[in-house]
Amino acid sequence: QVQLQESGPGLVKPSGTLSLTCTVSGDSVSSDSYYWTWIRQSPGKGLEWIGYIYFSGSTNYNPSLESRVTISVDTSKNQFSLNLSSVTAADTAVYYCARVSRYYDLDSWGQGTLVTVSS
């Protein structure tokens, strides 16, 4: 059974870069059957898709965040990562990593990690 676990700083300063890593177990990020994605949820709000990556390194980002987002994959560590630059308080959210199935649904999720943007 696949498991995903987010890790990274819980506090980031305004104008800084938010960096998170998702460690995958029970499956391989090198699998050609899945994409790997980041989703966020601001406090008390709905879900917002950030972007996804394929094992080959090809990516697709939310147009509203594209200028600030980079998602990368490290197959040797079975991890994928999120970098979000020039953060503001509006980027404060719980960040989830998830696996995207062939039907473009998110069939496995990490537990989420709260990132607060504050000085």
CB nearer to other proteins: pick between 83 and 111: 111
Q: How far is the CB of 54 from other proteins (least distance, A)?
A: 14
Site residue total, other proteins (CB under 8 A) = 22
Strands 69-74 and 93-100: unpaired
Binding mask 46-85 for other proteins (x = CB under 8 A): xxxx--x-------x-xx----------------------
- Cβ neighbours of residue 40 under 8 Å, at least 6 residues apart? 47, 48, 50, 91, 93, 94, 95, 96
Nearest distance, CB of residue 85 and other proteins, angstroms: 20
Residue 32 within binding range of other proteins, rule CB under 8 A: no
Give residues in contact with other proteins (CB under 8 A). 37, 39, 46-49, 52, 60, 62-63, 96, 101, 103-112
